[in-house]
Each structure stands twice: as structure tokens, then as C-alpha cells.
Amino acid sequence: MLLRVLWVSLLLGFGLATSIARADSFEQGLEQLKSKDFSHIEQGIAAIASSGNANTELVLNLLLNGELYRLKKTDELVVVQGKQDKKLIIVNLFDDSGASAQTVSKRKIKKVRINNNIRASLKAALASLKLSAAEPEQRRQAVNQLIGKLTPELYQTLSQRLDVESDSSVQELIAVALAVTDLNSADSDSAVQQTAVATLSDSLQPAARNALAQFVETTDNAILKSQASKGLRSIDEKRKWAGHAETLFFGLSLGSVLVLAAIGLAITFGVMGVINMAHGELIMLGAYTTYVVQLLMPDNIALSILVSIPAAFLVSAFVGILIERGVIRFLYGRPLETLLATFGISLILQQAVRSIFSPLNRSVATPEFMSGVIEINPVLSLTLNRLYIIAFCLIVFALLFMLLRYTRLGIEVRAVAQNRAMARAMGVRSEWVDAMTFGLGSGIAGVAGVALSQLTNVGPNLGQAYIIDSFMVVVFGGVGNLWGTLVAGLSLGVANKIMEPWAGAVLAKILVLVFIILFIQKRPRGLFPQKGRSAEG
């Protein structure tokens, strides 16, 4: 029993001594920061970083940001809090309450100066402190800052951290940081460098590729140089495929926008034979509806987007029905007059928006759940807003497909599209179907405006940028065919993004237009030609 008490006392005494030593280390470090000698300041940083004091990160951040000062008269470390009557308000370093505040002239204080070497040491010290942070992202940032700057002590710390790290991405970064140090160390033998080359060759981290490229240029070892060159080629090949995947993703997101913009036009054009030049303005109305809903719900942006979808559908559908009932129904069978009339309506809608909201573009906030990226690997990231738009496009397409396939309205729409006279003879009210079809197509255009508001600013000319592309999608896919619109929209979006890097945005669109012109020479009715009355006409 006595031995146990002595053992516990010894442990407590050792712990107390360690705590006192750490406290002394922190105080000694603060004293060294007051020196004018850079070497003493660097020693002070090392002492503070190893002290384990709760204020360590505060002091190091103040020093790194140039916010730590020394009072000349007393040599006390202070922080500037503000200005008053051309003088500075200063407080003691660890005074949170402001009780020690005093006003002094600029000549009474001196900034604790640092150079580039000290700045690098500060960053490394702060990074090493964050290695034990709870959030993986903070640990990733910490390791990233340490790559290529590992001291023997930090190398040992990272090696120990590798054994306990639970996040795979942080593990990879730590392995890369250690491998970079092994590769560039003069003390590393060929076997260690060979292992480092193998580790870096399997990583897509930018630091891994940079280290291998530098090693290939500087090493005299032919075998290691060959292995590093092979690793570089492997990395470049993976980066190329990641670039292709990113291009495909951006193409699908652009194609999804084109599908949303064109699918309503495909319905009205296919059923009614109406060339609606105001379709772009119906998209614009949907975008402005999103903007107005956000003005009404400024404290709940995420919910406002969900509310905007049905609201934009109803607003654009209502305006579409008014256009059909007020103008278009008197012009059936006269396509050129319909084109001119709807072009005039588009100008009226643009001017109405300019008068209500002004000609300036309006910005629509993106909700938090649509912000950010999904990182597949270090060279391939998918933006969430575009991912949501692709999913939204597919959902809208599925709902519209089921509506036209399994509801009474859908059956009547398909009947009128295939043979209007026979449908009327069977009791279908074709005028009501025309109005509802035009309203449905216009409502979907409004929903497309909601999606576009998350990619670009909302303005009076928003719809004009997509009306020509919408017609190209409809013609290429086959007039009135939903599957044709989906395939054509996604195909044209991907084609645009593939050609943009080497042809430019404008020339890419011209090439797509030329392709469609040549295509419809061979297949005038598009990819999926419609059957029935419209096809025969």
C-alpha cells in the first residue's frame, strides 16, 4: 500500500513538474518575442508552439498577421484595438475584457517584426497545432501547409499521426508529405527514395506531381529517374481522364438546362404547331418569380427555392394561357403570323420586366445545400448546384412523361397531336386541350427559369440566350417527342463543352448549328420523328 502511494505521488509530481515546465516554456517564448534578433524570435516561436498553452494559437496568429506589438516603455506585449483622436487604443495581450485599455501615440509601440523564414515557421507551427483538430478539413489544411516544410520533429509527428488518422483523404496527404520529404532528403538511401516514388506515383495530389517533376530534373540516379518519369506519365494519364469526366459533367449540366428550356417548347410545338418566340420570356418570368420569392423569404433561402418551383410554374403557366387565349387561338394555321405575334409579346414582356424591376440584373442567392463541391479526387470535383440541376431535369422529365402517359390530359394531348379531327369527333375539347397544353409548356419554361437563376444573374434578356438553343434541341430531337428532346439536349450540351476548349464558346455553337443543319438534311424529322397528324403535315 505504501509503495502504491509513493508511486502515485511520484506520477503526480512528474505531471506537475511537466506542467510547470510547459508554463515556463510559454513565458520564456513570450520573452524571446520581445527581442530584436530574428533568431531569438524564432526560438521563442518554437518554445510557445511546444508549450501546449491554451493561448498558443492566439499568439502565433497575431504574430503571423502582424498584429502583435511591444510597448517600448515597459517591453509589454500588446494588441491594437482601435483608434481615438489620431492615437491608438491598446490592451494587454491576454486581456479579453479591455480593462487594461490605454491610449498611446504610434511612437510608443513597436511591431514585433518577422521575416520570411519566421513566417514559414509560424505557418508550420500553426499547421502542426491543427493536426489534432476534430474536423478532417482542418487537418487536411494543416498537412497541406506542411508538405515540403517538414522538420525532423514534424516528420516524426506526422509519422505518428499516420498510424491513428481515421480519415482516408488526410491519410493520403500525410503519406504524400512524408514521401516528399523522403524523396528530397539528402539522408535518404535509394530504397527509401524508391518507396517514396511509388507512393507519390499513386497519388493525384498536386504536391505529389510537383515533387516527382522536380526530382526527375535534379536526380542523377537513372533507375529512380526512370521510375519517377513513369509515375509522372501515370499521373498525367489519370489527370487527363479526370478532365474528360469533368467536361462530361459540365456538358450534362448544360444539356440539362437546355432540356428544361426546350421541353415545354417541344410540347406546344408538337401538339399545336405554334412557333412561340415568347418562350424565352416565360423562362425569364420563372427566374424573376424565384427572385421575388426570395425577397419575401429573406431568412429562409433554402425553403424559398422549393417554394419558387410551384410558384414559377403557376406564374408562367398563367401568362402562357393568357397568351394562347388572347392571341394564338386566333392564328392557328398561320405559322408566320403566330411567329410575329409571339415575337411582339416577347418584347412586351421584356419591357414590362424592365419597368417593374429595372433593366439591371438581379442576383438570386444559392441555398447552402446547393453550395460547395463533392471532391471525387484531388483533380476532379463536382459542383453541387450543377449536380442538383441535372437531378432536377431528370425529375421534371419523369413527372412530365408520366403526366402525358397516364393521365386523362396526357391521353387527350397525344390524341390531338396525332389526329385533331378524329379527337374532336371522339368528344375531346381540342380548344381546352390547346390552352392546357400551352399552359403546361409555359409552366415548365418557368421551372427552367428557377434552375437558371442558380447558374446566372436574372435579367430582362435572360430568355433570349436560350430561345435559339431551345429550337435547335426541338428540331434535332424530333418535334413533339419527349425522349428526343432529352437525348438532343444532353447531346448538344456535351458537344458544346467538348468543343469549347479548342474552338471557343462562339465557334462551338456555330459548329453545333452547322451539324444540325446538315443532320436535318438527311433526317428532316429529327432523331425521333413523331407519328400521326403532325408528322404527316
Band of the pLDDT at 318, cuts 50, 70, 90? very high
Least confident among 22-26, 330-334, 506-510: 22-26
For residue 140, pLDDT over 90 is answered with no
pTM for this prediction: 0.73
DSSP state of 528: S
Give SS3 for 114: coil
pLDDT bin (cut points 50, 70, 90) of residue 6 is very low
pLDDT of residue 87: 80
How far apart, in whole angstroms, are the C-alpha atoms of residue 17 and residue 331?
Answer: 95
- Mean pLDDT along residues 74-92: 79
pLDDT above 80: residue 123: no
Tell me the average pLDDT across 297-310: 88
Q: What is the mean pLDDT of residues 49-69?
A: 80
Choose between 240 and 75: higher pLDDT.
240
Q: What is the pLDDT of residues 444-481, one digit of tens each?
A: 999 999 988 888 888 888 888 888 888 888 888 877 67
Report pLDDT for 4.
44
Find the helix or strand (DSSP H, E) in which 381 lies: strand 380-383
pLDDT of residue 1: 47
User: What DSSP letter does each residue of 232-263 carry, written as one string?
Assistant: HHHHHHHHHHHHHHHHHHHHHHHHHHHHHHHH
Where does the pLDDT of residue 98 fall: very low under 50, low under 70, confident under 90, or very high at 90 and above?
low
Cβ of 11: how many Cβ atoms within 10 Å? Answer: 10
Measured CA to CA, the distance from residue 212 to residue 205 in angstroms comes to: 11
Handedness of CA 50, 55, 61, 66 (dihedral sign): negative
Q: Is the pLDDT reported for residue 11 higher than 50? A: no
Whole-angstrom distance, CA of residue 119 vs CA of residue 87:
28
Q: At residue 126, what are phi and psi to the nearest 5 degrees?
A: -65, -40
Per-residue pLDDT for 417 more than 70?
Answer: no
Q: Is the pLDDT of residue 144 over 90?
A: no
Residue 109: is its pLDDT beyond 80? yes
Mean pLDDT of the chain: 81
Measured CA to CA in angstroms, residue 4 lies from 11, 12, 13, 14, 16 at distances of 11, 12, 14, 15, 18
Where residue 11 falls (left for φ over 0; alpha for ψ -120 to 50; beta otherwise) is alpha
3-state SS string over 49-80? HCCCCCCHHHHHHHHHCCCCEEECCCCEEEEE
Q: Give the pLDDT mean for 424-432.
A: 78
C-alpha span between 414 and 502 (Å, rounded): 43
The predicted model gives 365-386 an average pLDDT of 85
Q: Model confidence over 214-239: pLDDT tens digits?
A: 888 888 888 888 888 999 999 999 99
Backbone angles phi, psi at 51, to 5 degrees: -75, -25
**pLDDT attached to residue 316:** 93
Position 531 scores a pLDDT of 58
Q: Indicate the DSSP class of residue 368.
A: G
**pLDDT for position 534:** 45
Burial of 386-413, coded b for 16+ CB within 10 Å and e otherwise, reads bbbbbebbeebbeebeeebeeeeebebb
pLDDT(188) > 80: no
CA–CA distance, 157 with 167 (Å, rounded to integer): 17
pLDDT of residue 359: 87
The string over 88-117, giving b where at least 16 C-beta atoms fall within 10 Å of a residue's C-beta and e elsewhere, is bebbbbeeeeeeeeeebeeebbeebebeee
Residue range 273-289: average pLDDT? 88
**Tens of pLDDT, residues 479-535:** 767 888 888 889 888 888 888 878 777 788 888 888 888 888 888 777 776 654 444
Task: Identify which of 173, 213, 186 has the alpha carbon closest to the alpha carbon of residue 197.
Answer: 213
Quickly state the pLDDT bin for 19 (edges 50, 70, 90).
Answer: very low
User: What's the pLDDT tens digit per position in 190-215?
Assistant: 888 888 888 888 888 888 888 888 88
Residue type (1 letter), 416: V
Helix%, strand%, coil% for the chain, nearest 5: 70, 5, 20
Q: Which amino acid is at 155?
A: Y
Per DSSP, 367 falls in state: P
Maximum pairwise Cα distance, the chain? 109
What pLDDT score was predicted for residue 509?
Answer: 80
Output the CA angle 506-507-508, nearest 5 degrees.
90
Number of H helices, E strands in the chain: 21, 7
Identify the bridge partners of residue 374 per DSSP, sorted by sequence position.
382
pLDDT score, position 317: 92
Q: Helix crossing, 2-33 with 38-49: angle to 10°? A: 150
